[in-house]
Structure 1
Amino acid sequence: MGVVIETDFWEPNTISYLFLFLFCLSSLLLLPYFKTASTRIIPVFDRRRMLPTASPSVPFLHFQIWFLLVYFLCSVIEGLEYMFGQFEYDHYGLSREWMVVALTLGCAASLLVGTFLGVLSDVIGHRKACMLFCILHIFTGVLKSVTNHQSIWVASICLGLASSISSCSFETWMVAEHEKLGHRKELLSETLWLMTFFGAGSVVASLVLTNSLASWSAGKGIVLPSTAAAILAMICIAYISREWNGSPPTSGIRGYKMSFSAYILSDKRIWLLAWVQACLHFSVAIFWILWSPTIVADGREVHLEMIYPCLMGASMLGSTAVPWLIGGPLSVAMEDFLMGAFAIAGLVLSIVAFDYQEIGVLVTLFCIFHACVGLISPSLAILRTTFVPIELRAGMISLSHAPANAAILFVLIEGGYHCSLGNATIWALSTFGLLTSAGCMHVLKRWRKQTQKDPHSF
């Protein structure tokens, strides 16, 4: 007896978009009415601060809006390159193995060179590092417009380096400039969670722009999205070079090494933060590598581009929960809700790893995971503000990504190229990292209480 299988494209219900939009909007609009008078924002690092505190010279709202605008545009640039990259691989007919090679090159660049770009950013100044981010994207756009598919390998390396810069330099410049301009410390956490909010929104904007440009340039060549990214990068570099201030001079590499050893390597709490950041970075990277093959397993047909807004909407919703938890009516200790968020994220990925799920259930689980990521990312940035000196912040972030990038490289080679590592095993590795991160948050909470009793214990 034959079995007839009806094939149908799956896509999220329209109600899902409406639900996420209304909840994000409600969270943003209702927060001012429920926010407590005395917010429990973790204070900015000041015990070992080298930067002087000045009186406010630039209105905070002006500073925040223009920074977030530039950050949003730079995130759109990244999104254009990565979204368009998938279309580019298909257009040139690259096999699965060569796609993995391209990803491996970018990851290897992030590991071998990108690990030290944060240190370079601290030494030469974060403004120059952010300009280098734009220059790399301009170079990538020009390269693709003149060399066609041969540029994919060089572009992968450039994008890997640019991603390493964006992961640390923009945040660090904002924190340093916030302090130098003398803005109130409790306002810093607001900008940090808004970075996550706008960063997630930029992915949706990149998807829409990429699809529009790819459709418009059909039959005219496929370099238009890369050209658009290069143009946006030129706009950003023009604004950064004119409006952004540079960092104060440092004491050089030798002085930086001494400070890093004294303040970063000797503090066990920062080691915990570094491990947690590495696990989060690894899990998010693994998600974007495996989420599509997991959903379309067994030949299931899905409109993947319709799922992107749901995932990013969930991340935006998670980021809006940060002010409610640290300064709103809930007032939960940061280590407590981070423990819960890491545990939930780990549990979600464990279900994906060890149990076959229908598409709707998978998308729901992935949205929960991204809501946790949206909550965790700005919260870790606030914790870094507590423990890490501003002058060493970018170096700490980039070095903490090194073990994650090494693990991603291993997964790409063994799981993607040699196919000797199953997807379930890779998901399980992400689960392990997230659950250990929950344990690290528990230890950090215990150590914080110990430090309050004995300030010299660390």
Structure 2
Amino acid sequence: MKAQRTTLTWRIVVGYSQTHKRKMHRMKSAESIIVVADSYCALFAKLVRYQPAASCGFKVTEMFFVYALYGLSAICALLYIYTRTKIPTSDDERFITFQRNYLTVYLLAVAGDWLQGPHVYALYESSGMSKHEIELLFVGGFASSLLFGTFIAALADKYGRKSNCFLYGILYAISCVTKHFVNFWIFMIGRLFGGIATSILYSAFESWLVYEHNKRGFDEQLLTTIFSHATLGNSVVAIISGVVAQYAADMFGFITPFQVSLAVLILMTIVLLFTWPENYGDQKSTLSRHFADAIHAMRNDGKMICLCFIQSLFEGAMYVFVLEWTPALTYASDTGTIPHGYIFASFMVAIMMGSSIFKVLSKYCRPESFMRIVLLISSICLAMPIIFADNEVIIFVAFIIFEVTVGIFWPAMGFMRGIYIPEQARSTIMNFCRIPLNAIVITILLQDLSMRHIFQFCVLFLVMATLTQQYLHRLLHHQWKGF
């Protein structure tokens, strides 16, 4: 069976099967892109003289992933120890207290999100929802983030970032409550609230941080330290949340992780209410004027347009990767099964490694420069499932490296947004940047695309992000030379 599958994969790489042609016919709008991508992938596969994993006598077992996790954890620990002496730090008690306060609230917020993630699909499935209904629920969440989340999260600039973060806790808590009712439309309401909450999570918290950091007069470079620690903490919280959610689900059922998430979100809102001051963008302008000013600012500043494109293209590929890494590794596996828990934990450790690498890179080079290489590496990584569709080891290693680039991307992008997005419309512009991202994910989810074609689009997005980053670097390089 493995030999037959390998033969089929090889034929797909070097030519076009009838099935491939039928799928191509359904994709007229993307036909030329896929043809070019297929041609280059086939050429590359011939040049590297691809040999399937089965032919080399190495059989991947669960212990391979266990040892990989141990090895990655050791490397991550060494990187963390090394970078502790290499990053900008401050003995200012005010900064230490500020950083601790922000990270406490932020990490509780992301914990509420991570606790739900692993069991959303399982809960819907156990509630009797069909595959089509579950897909509609996921599309509903992204559509809500696109349509309603953009508007509501943008209110933070006028009515307050702290208030918006509080609204995140309330909306996501309501989303958790809806999981107790076995009804498609109640589930959909929960997804709509969850989509809005996600938009707030990825904009209002960062907007509050940047404003307060600048207001208190802390050094600009210390912002990279906070973003790096936030990314590192996010990965640690993801691993812990996954373990807690799994234990809760095993002991008390799929609904329990959502109850734990509800408790964490309530705790987050309480800490936020009593420890965060409120801050705003431009309070005086009307809401319509606020949106118009944000659009005007973007149109007149190429740097913001570049940042929005880079964020949308990279995160669009990243979200699609989250949906596709399981089928990609499962298809390449000899047994047809993979240890999801160990692999997910390895991915989170890789992100932590990326955050540590970011600390070192940002000490010697600006993010505008080194992100060109990082984005290029990410595009190569997601090309591996196309070229080596049957090689589980190569795909796994490529995915690990991709997650390292994710760990670098998040703090780097946060730092660049903190510099180039104007304070008075920060949340609004950040949510405008998420519109193409949600559109990309929704479009791909609604298409009947093969896994191969999905990864081809991911590679295309990342190559475009790399080119945009190169343009941004050249644009800024000319400005720096002018001073």
Shift of 1:24: 2.2
Q: TM-score, normalised by structure 1?
A: 0.86
1:318-333 → structure 2 map (5 Å cutoff): 318-327=354-363, 331-333=364-366
Shift of 1:31: 2.5
- Separation in structure 2 between the aligned mates of residue 320 and residue 72 of structure 1, nearest angstrom: 18
Aligned length: 425
Q: TM-score, normalised by structure 2?
A: 0.82
Shift of 1:167: 1.0
Whether the 8 Å CA contact 1:346–1:431 is kept in 2: the answer is yes
Shift of 1:374: 0.7
Whether the 8 Å CA contact 1:11–1:303 is kept in 2: the answer is no
Whether the 8 Å CA contact 1:11–1:302 is kept in 2: the answer is no
Whether the 8 Å CA contact 1:118–1:396 is kept in 2: the answer is no
Q: Deviations over 1:65-95 (max 9, x none)?
A: 1211221111111011111202213322433
2:257 is aligned to 225
Amino acid at match of 1:225: P
- Separation in structure 2 between the aligned mates of residue 81 and residue 349 of structure 1, nearest angstrom: 26
Q: Label 1:14 to 1:290 Cα distance change in 2 as closer, same or farther (>3 A).
A: closer
1:59-458 → structure 2 map (5 Å cutoff): 59-147=94-182, 151-218=186-253, 222-248=254-280, 250-252=283-285, 253=287, 255-257=289-291, 259-297=293-331, 300-327=336-363, 331-414=364-447, 419=448, 421-454=449-482
1:18 is aligned to 70
Shift of 1:11: 5.5
Q: Which moved more, 1:256-265 or 1:170-179?
A: 256-265
- Separation in structure 2 between the aligned mates of residue 390 and residue 194 of structure 1, nearest angstrom: 23
* Aligned-residue RMSD, C-alpha: 2.7
1:27 is aligned to 79
Q: Deviations over 1:307-345 (max 9, x none)?
A: 110001001100111110111xxx134233211111111
- Separation in structure 2 between the aligned mates of residue 8 and residue 372 of structure 1, nearest angstrom: 25
- Separation in structure 2 between the aligned mates of residue 127 and residue 350 of structure 1, nearest angstrom: 41
Q: Deviations over 1:45-78 (max 9, x none)?
A: xxxxxxxxxxx9x711111112112211111110
- Separation in structure 2 between the aligned mates of residue 126 and residue 12 of structure 1, nearest angstrom: 45
Amino acid at match of 1:21: S
Q: Secondary structure at the match of 1:245?
A: coil
Amino acid at match of 1:236: M
- Separation in structure 1 between the aligned mates of residue 226 and residue 88 of structure 2, nearest angstrom: 18
| Stretches of 4+ aligned residues off by more than 4 angstroms | 5-9, 34-37, 146-150
Q: Label 1:206 to 1:333 Cα distance change in 2 as closer, same or farther (>3 A).
A: same
Shift of 1:391: 2.5
Shift of 1:402: 0.6
Shift of 1:428: 1.1
- Separation in structure 2 between the aligned mates of residue 306 and residue 25 of structure 1, nearest angstrom: 18
1:51 is aligned to none
Whether the 8 Å CA contact 2:165–2:205 is kept in 1: the answer is yes
- Separation in structure 2 between the aligned mates of residue 142 and residue 258 of structure 1, nearest angstrom: 36
Amino acid at match of 1:165: I
Amino acid at match of 1:26: L
Q: Label 1:188 to 1:10 Cα distance change in 2 as closer, same or farther (>3 A).
A: same
- Separation in structure 2 between the aligned mates of residue 353 and residue 286 of structure 1, nearest angstrom: 15
Amino acid at match of 2:358: V
Q: Deviations over 1:335-380 (max 9, x none)?
A: 3321111111101111213431332322211111110111111111
Work out the percentage of aligned pairs sharing the same amino acid: 21
Whether the 8 Å CA contact 1:118–1:399 is kept in 2: the answer is no
- Separation in structure 2 between the aligned mates of residue 154 and residue 367 of structure 1, nearest angstrom: 35
Whether the 8 Å CA contact 1:117–1:398 is kept in 2: the answer is no
Amino acid at match of 1:423: M
- Separation in structure 2 between the aligned mates of residue 343 and residue 423 of structure 1, nearest angstrom: 21
Whether the 8 Å CA contact 1:126–1:173 is kept in 2: the answer is yes
- Separation in structure 2 between the aligned mates of residue 424 and residue 32 of structure 1, nearest angstrom: 41
Shift of 1:453: 3.7
- Separation in structure 1 between the aligned mates of residue 423 and residue 195 of structure 2, nearest angstrom: 24
Q: Label 1:94 to 1:255 Cα distance change in 2 as closer, same or farther (>3 A).
A: closer
Whether the 8 Å CA contact 1:10–1:301 is kept in 2: the answer is no
Q: Gaps (5+ residues) in structure 1?
A: 40-55
